Structure 1
Amino acid sequence: MKKVMLKTTISLAVAMASSQLFASGFALNEQSISGMGTGFAGRSSSADDASTVFGNPAGMSRLKRQQVTGGMAAIDASTDIKDTSGSRSGTNKGDMVPFTAVPMGFYVKPIDDQWAFGLGVYAPFGLITDYENSFQGRNFGSKSEVKVVTFQPTVSYAFNDKVSIGFGPTINRISGVLESTLNTPFTATDGQVQIKGDDIGYGYNIGVLVQATDTTRVGLTYHSKVDYKLEGHTTVSPGAGTPTPVMKGARYDASLKIQTPESLDLSVTQELNDAWTLYAGTTWTRWSRLKDITVNNEGVTVAAGGGAAPGAFTTIKEDQNWHDTWAYAIGTSYQLNKQWVLRTGLTFDQSPTNNTDRSPRIPTGDRTIFSLGAGWSPTEDLTIDVAYSYLKEEKVNINRSNSSPTASPLARSYNAEYENSANGFGVGATYRF
């Protein structure tokens, strides 16, 4: 028997929600329901509740009471797929993103006038796309589901009543399942390649908050990159008609090295009067780290001289070539009375993908997001927040091809126009004690 290395390449659809979530690439914004109401404008400078553990750990210095903030955001996404063509027949229903919920939870305890301690559990990245079995582009991605869950202990220190800093290490667990239809000339029917893996990576968040004037706060937050080496298995299930010398259904040790990108968030909170507050912010994300993705599977064997090229089970590396992105948001809140605050926001978010390398796993374009929200405080100890967001993406094109000399003529191309939209709903609560 002769050993070879099977390389199954996948576009990185990493995490827990959908490609239509409310941040670019596979990042998630859903770490605060109060922030969701203003389109996450002012995320680094508002420090309204314990979710500032993520938004800006320095903001814990503004919270004078011990408190817990928790919530859940749900996403209902839809996709219109048009102008399809390709070497294979199939369907294009566009309902590949299931209804998905993203939970979050935070705790902050002031220690004295200068120090505060906090904890956070949240999802910073996420995606799921799950196409129908007959999807026309199934050779380029039939299912992608990866979850990143982060635990963040945090401390903040206030130098005075104007300037504070905060820092928190992050412990991040990533797990995922990625599937594609097997791309080989030797099968009479479709086979499948399924990849599963997980890892734990470490990073940190650091922030500074400045009370520039009596009515103006400026916040800056840095979220570090995180390195992962996912360890798991690749399961190959060839279709009917595969020659005997070629590997039958088998499982192989798999590994994948990836980095989730660093980001920098700058925002301003401006109190206009006792009722109105204005928020503005911008976020830079270093998506250019994602050039390509390759999963390496060890222990693949074929019979020497079997007549079936090992390359028949080796897909070509799938380039990503993502670019850095900027997001811009502006929002406002209105304190209607002691119990109620109303919020709204508008966000413009660039997509890191390009027209050449975009795949069905993350078929996204630049997006515009409109948000509404409200906070109700029936007592001084309790606030209940709700939020709604509507996302609309520009139309984008998918033009995928596999030019491998061993690729089946029936599986070499998929072309389509995607138009994505989504409705987001959030509900959360803060309890102070």
Structure 2
Amino acid sequence: MKKVTLIKTTLSLAVALASSNLFASGFALNEQSISGMGTGFAGRSSSADDASTVFGNPAGMSRLKREQVTVGGAAVIAKTDIKHASGTFGGSNDGDMVPVVGVPMGYYVKPIDDHWSFGFGMYVPFGLLTDYENGFDGRYYGSKSEVQVVTLQPTISYAFNDKVSIGFGPTINRIEGALESAALNRVSLGRNDGKVKISGDDTAIGYNIGILVQATDSTRVGLTYHSMVDYKLEGDTKIQGSGFGPLSGSKYDASLKIKTPESVDFSVTHELDDQWTIYAGSTWTRWSRLEAITVNNEGVPAALAPTLGQISEEQNWHDTWAHAIGASYKLNKEWVLRTGFTVDQSPTNNVNRSPRIPTGDRKIFSLGAGWSPNDDMTIDVAYSYLWEEDAKINQTTSPTDPAHFKGSYRATYENSAHGVGASLTYRF
């Protein structure tokens, strides 16, 4: 099977197929629980308020004494202002490139006896959708990106006693992506450009494991480990445009390997009294795994083998921390109100950041509420507002390397987003 990346533009697409998935959190696709969203995900591994604990901390299923299902979804509405933009070949910078993104979720938990519980989850841990306008100034570095990871997680938990429980669940992760960029016509230089599109998918296995400790009558401590997942994406590379000559319209097999990093979440839930509960949590993610993306190509003609046989792009990402605090107030038997605040680092840097994933360090303010009209049902709603520090793009290639030349693109991105979500929990 040929695995051919015809020009540097195609390599950039392959890199983006991996990195777009990894950068989902920069676009606030962090919603696997609406009750958790209301507190800014503070206490994610220690709360265990509903069946979404299958993701937050599988050990938390031991706290749920009734069979129950939680289903819901969130929408992320992003806004970007692009400023101080300049590109070698010119173009527009509208900044209206992120459509509304939906994030579905669903969980089921069934207690088996006083010790064992079984659960199942479906959620979206990573995802991105960006679609720039025709003629975008940075089109050679990315014009459209659509990536999604859907995870299925069967889970068990075991309670040693009333104080300590553990949980484990293998994760079945399906990644799919399709990305496009313009291909520079090297004769007309910026006019009559071609297009390169790469799409691929894979299914890979990981796991989540957690421990929950009732440290005192009013304080719980949770620790959750989400494993690294090792993907090998395979799919098609399609090219079109006069710049490709007789190869225009060709379709090639393509593949690359990528590992999504592991993360550790630690949190504390403390009940001040019958009405007030406070939450705090920190999450560490090992983004430094991604030092470079390397594409190995087979079947490349000997004359092109030195440049296309193996191609690597530096990423130089760094490990990150996210910290959150939150609180909830039980207004009465039916209503609980929530709020939270989160600070979240970005693993990107000003040298390697791409217009596909123009994200910076961010802050998030959250509000939420839960309504329980009876003991069997709870409806949760949440709202979050996210804003990022300015993210600088500084992409350039040298004209002394004509096979890879795409000009330059420099800009400053100002990103913000609104997130809204709702879920229903029903207890049998």
**TM-score past 0.5 threshold:** yes
State whether residues 15 and 174 of structure 1, in contact with CA within 8 Å, keep that contact through their aligned partners in structure 2.
no
Q: How has the CA–CA distance of structure 1 residues 241 and 4 changed in structure 2, closer, same or farther, with 3 Å as cutoff? A: closer
Deviation at 1:136, TM superposition (A): 0.3
Cα distance per residue 1:122-171 (max 9 Å; x no partner): 01111111111211001011111111000000000000000000000001
- Equivalent residue of 2:80, what SS? strand
Corresponding residue of 2:375: 380
Kept in 1: contact 2:399–2:405 (CA 8 A): no
Structure 2 equivalent of residue 152 of structure 1:
153
Task: Note closer, same or farther for the CA distance 1:346–1:13 as it changes in structure 2 (3 Å cut).
Answer: farther
Distance (Å, rounded) in 2 between the aligned partners of 1:59 and 1:412: 52
What TM-score results when the alignment is normalised by the length of structure 2?
Answer: 0.92
Q: Kindly indicate whether the alpha-carbon contact (under 8 Å) linking 1:358 and 1:399 is maintained by their aligned counterparts in 2.
A: yes
SS in 2 for 1:377: strand
| Among candidates 195, 198, 204, match of residue 192 of structure 1 | 195
Using the TM superposition, give the Cα deviation of residue 392 of structure 1 relative to its aligned residue in structure 2, in angstroms: 0.4
* Aligned residues with identical type, % of pairs: 68
The 5 A counterparts of 1:267-416 are: 267-296=267-296, 298-299=298-299, 317-403=312-398, 405-407=400-402, 411-416=406-411
Shift of 1:183: 3.7
Matches of 2:64 and 2:4, distance apart in 1: 58
- 1:421 correspondence with 2:416: yes
Decide whether aligned partners of structure 1 residues 344 and 110 sit closer, same or farther in structure 2, where only a CA change above 3 A counts: same
The aligned residue for residue 258 of structure 1 is 258
How far 1:189 moved relative to its partner?
Answer: 1.5
Aligned partners of 2:238 and 2:252 also within 8 Å: yes
Report if aligned partners of 1:198, 1:230 keep a CA contact under 8 Å in 2. Answer: yes
The answer for the alignment partner of 1:169 in structure 2 is 170
Q: Structure 1, residues 189-232: CA drift from partner, whole Å, max 9, x if none?
A: 21111111101000000000000000000000000000000011
Report the structure, 1 or 2, having the larger helix content: 2
Mark the CA change 1:163 to 1:300 in structure 2 (over 3 Å): closer, same or farther.
same
Q: Could you tell me which amino acid in structure 2 is paired with residue 35 of structure 1? A: G
**Distance in 1 between residues matched to 2:55 and 2:243, nearest whole Å:** 53
Q: Is the 8 A contact 1:229 1:255 kept in 2?
A: yes
Q: Which residue of 2 aligns with 1:240?
A: 242
Superposed displacement of residue 292, structure 1: 2.4
Decide whether the 8 Å contact of 1:252 with 1:297 is kept in 2. Answer: no
Q: Distance in 1 between matches of 2:115 and 2:19?
A: 36
For residues 93-118 of structure 1, what are the alpha-carbon distances to aligned partners after superposition, in whole Å with 9 as ceiling and x for unaligned? 10111011110000000000000000
Tell me what 2:81 maps to: 80
* Corresponding residue SS for 2:36: helix
Q: Distance in 2 between matches of 1:233 and 1:401?
A: 27
Q: Secondary structure at the match of 1:411?
A: coil
Contact 1:334 1:342 in 2 (8 A): yes
Residues 46-195 of structure 1 mapped to structure 2, 5 A cutoff: 46-183=47-184, 185-186=186-187, 189-195=192-198
Shifted more, 247-256 versus 178-187: the winner is 178-187
In the other structure, the counterpart of 2:11 is 9
Query: What is the SS of the residue equivalent to 1:125?
Result: strand
2: CA distance between counterparts of 1:209 and 1:267?
10
- Partner-residue secondary structure (3-state), 1:9: helix
Matched residues in 1 for 2:148 and 2:387: separation? 24
Deviations 1:271-311 (A, max 9, x none): 00000000000000011111222445545669x8xxxx799
Tell me, in whole angstroms, the C-alpha distance in 2 between the residues paired with 1:143 and 1:235.
14
Q: Is the 8 A contact 1:33 1:426 kept in 2?
A: yes
CA–CA distance in 1 between the matches of 2:21 and 2:141? 20
CA distance in 1, matches of 2:339, 2:155: 29
Give deviations 1:244-263, integer Å, cap 9, x for gaps: 5xx23201110010011100
Matches within 5 A, 1:211-230: 211-230=214-233
Q: Please provide the CA RMSD for this pair.
A: 2.5
The size of the alignment, in residue pairs, is 421
- Checking the alignment, whether the CA contact within 8 Å between 1:16 and 1:102 is kept in structure 2 is no
Letter in 2 for 1:419: E
Rounded to whole Å, the distance in 2 between the matches of 1:359 and 1:264 is 27
Q: Which residue of 2 aligns with 1:43?
A: 44
Matched-pair contact (CA < 8 Å) for 1:146–1:174: yes
Q: Against the structure 1 CA distance between its residues 361 and 281, is the aligned structure 2 distance closer, same or farther, given a 3 Å change threshold?
A: same
Per mean C-alpha deviation after superposition, the further-off stretch among 392-401 and 124-133 is 124-133
Residue type of the alignment partner of 1:373 = G
SS in 1 for 2:35: helix
Q: Do the aligned residues in 2 keep the contact of 1:88 with 1:411 (CA within 8 Å)?
A: no
Answer whether contact 2:38 2:367 (CA < 8 A) is retained.
Answer: yes
CA distance in 2, matches of 1:409, 1:296: 17
TM score, norm. by length of structure 1: 0.91
> Residue 185 of structure 2 contacts residue 192 of structure 2 at CA under 8 Å; is this kept in 1?
no
CA offsets 1:17-46 (integer angstroms, 9 cap, x no match):
996x6x34x783210000000000000000
